[in-house]
A and B are shown apart, each in its own frame.
Chain A
Amino acid sequence: MNFFKKHLSLKSKRNMIGYFFVLPFVIGFLLFFLVPFIQAIVFSLNEIEMTGEGYQLIYQGFGNYEYVIYTHPRFNQLFVETVIETLIDIPLIIIFSFFAAILLNQKFRGRFLARTIFFLPVIMGAGIILSMEAEDYMAEIMATQIGEEAQTGLILGVDQLSDLLIEFNLPVVLIDYLMDSVDQIAEVIRSSGVQIIVFLAGLQSISPSLYEVAIAEGATPWEKFWKITFPMLTPILLTNVVYTIIDSFVANDLVDLIRDSAVGAGGYGISSAMSMIYLLFIAVLLIIIVGLISRGVYYHE
């Protein structure tokens, strides 16, 4: 009995060391996350005036929010555009990266090279490069060239494709979505790097014995996919969806607007109010999507 007691206390003593390891995070969370977070809420309700030795707050109530929603010239429009674009991109990125991971997980010659190339966007597709590429003149020239080739029949252009689909009597909404997707395809592929890695790591972690049993039972590849691969990947699917949402909401035109309005006219208060509206929206979206997906998530064990 005595021994048992001693053992317990030793173990809980050891566990106390854990606090020491995570202490930096706790400090960082309080000082550089929670405090600024609360301050951001306070700022959004105030006007901030810079003085010599610091800053002063002038209480505005919900004035900043009203200004952002009713008066600001660009916020509403940009907000809607950003949200729609992101909502189109997310399923495309997930589906593409899922598909790409399955391809890269198969054995074939040149697989190593293919993986090297597929992971390349992780390196190139971020920050300043991406924003410069968006306004690149070079790309425009190239695009007009491709457009000309399409007109002369060398490449099947987007317009012809859309005509084709209209002839098939597909619903217009679907055609619009497909057309947007085709426009976005390069962007989707280039923003899927991390997601492919995550899915691939997930595929690798599925125990081969599951497949062996399935083969012994005479399962077809189709059945193996839907009965093993897909369910086993659903937890990772959730991780990836969350990552994609965060990733695409962290860098876009709206975020640039928020940043610019902090520096330029309007000031910190307005910018904070925009941030809060935006954050609230992302939070609600995340809760809805995570809630929907986690119902279908299958946990092994």
Chain B
Amino acid sequence: MNKLNKLKPVFLLKSAEKIIDKENTKDILWSILRGLIIIGISYIILYPLLTKISSSLMAERDLFDHTVRWIPRSLNLENYRLVFRAMDYPRAIYNTLRTAVLVTVIQLISCSLIGYGFARFDFRGNKFLFALVIFTLVVPPQMIMIPLYLNFRFFDLFGILPEGGLNLLGTYWPFIFLSLTGMGMRNGLFIYIFRQFFKGMPVELEEAAYVDGAGPITTFIKIMVPGALPAFLVVFLFSFVWQWNDNFYIHMFLPYQHNLPTALSTVANDVSTLLGERNIQMTGGRIALTNNTGMLFYIAPLLLLYSFTQRYFIESVQRTGIVG
């Protein structure tokens, strides 16, 4: 190395240093710019959440006070108390959680099995059936909503059950049937994710299991499931969050249940009733505060879940390669 340095003319070394310097300033400029962009975007993303948190703590007069932007004059927990009571929060959360867990667990099992079937078995019609999976993803569920609704309202298994059929609305059966058969909300996407992931896993372990005499189900449970944990985590989070946020299927299949979507959609009315008992008028400002507090209550469990799982979620996303 020393020898080389001695051999090199000095001016060449200098210009090399200059280039490195230039690169450095460019890098620094870029990181500052990047930092600004990321902070700006983060602000836009967090903005609705921050307004919800800050407004949930506001009293009504803070809304129209121009000196108050983010931090209310005095800490006011009345919104929380009112909304908690009006939404009947524990019962609403229990019902929503029950649906979400049920749907998520079933979908994880059914979609992973279906995805495995598409990924590893070269049966006749594999490509065609998989194209149908994508097709179900493309058709918005609203398109087949009415027939689906009627089929579950007068569920006769297409003529097998006695006349009139059963009314399955108001029960969990529609959710169970749809999830079991990979027809639930965006299940096509989950099947797709599992298929991609299983395709990317090495075949050797599986073959060894088969040679050892394990059946396909045993192989799936013992070999594939542990290897595909990232895919399971990503699908779990998607499925749970989307079911939690769903009000379309919930309205259709469980119209009379008290759950978070129904509680949230009527929260302003319910708070108004509560206030009416105390002879307080409901105003536009109060409606806004109530709705924002309600929304915060609605997403709080999700935020909690996300804060626990995001580390694994982000790592998993990288390894899932949800890509074509």
Choice from B41, B69, B137, B318 contacting A145 with Cβ under 8 Å: B69
Contact of A31 with B158 at beta-carbon distance under 8 Å, contacts A103-B34, A120-B46 already known: yes
Check A136–B314 contact: CB distance below 8 A: no
Check A136–B288 contact: CB distance below 8 A: yes
B-side interface size class: 35 or more
Check A201–B323 contact: CB distance below 8 A: yes
Contact of A18 with B183 at beta-carbon distance under 8 Å, contacts A32-B177, A250-B140 already known: no
User: Shortest distance in angstroms between A141's beta carbon and chain B's nearest beta carbon?
Assistant: 6
Choice from B147, B313, B321, B324 contacting A204 with Cβ under 8 Å: B321
Check B41–A16 contact: CB distance below 8 A: no
User: Shortest distance in angstroms between A56's beta carbon and chain B's nearest beta carbon?
Assistant: 12
Interface string of B187-218 (1 = CB under 8 A from A): 00101000000000000000000100000100
Chain B residues with CB under 8 Å of A235's CB are: 323-324
Chain A residues with CB under 8 Å of B238's CB are: 122
Q: How far is the CA of A231 from the CA of B315 in the complex (A)?
A: 25
Check A200–B123 contact: CB distance below 8 A: no
Check A54–B164 contact: CB distance below 8 A: yes
Q: How far is the CA of A2 from the CA of B298 in the complex (A)?
A: 66
Interface string of A14-28 (1 = CB under 8 A from B): 111111111011111
Contact of A108 with B182 at beta-carbon distance under 8 Å, contacts A137-B287, A250-B142 already known: no
Interface 9-residue window, one of A71-79, A155-163, A207-215, A238-246: A238-246
Q: Does A45 belong to the interface (CB within 8 Å)?
A: no
User: Shortest distance in angstroms between A244's beta carbon and chain B's nearest beta carbon?
Assistant: 12
Interface 9-residue window, one of A62-70, A80-88, A109-117, A169-177: A109-117
B window 45-61: CB within 8 A of A: 45-49, 51, 55
Check A21–B117 contact: CB distance below 8 A: yes
Check A108–B145 contact: CB distance below 8 A: no
Q: Does A230 belong to the interface (CB within 8 Å)?
A: no
Interface 9-residue window, one of B97-105, B126-134, B270-278: B126-134
Check B181–A32 contact: CB distance below 8 A: yes
- Minimum-distance CB pairs A-B, first 4: A28-B181, A18-B121, A21-B117, A127-B245
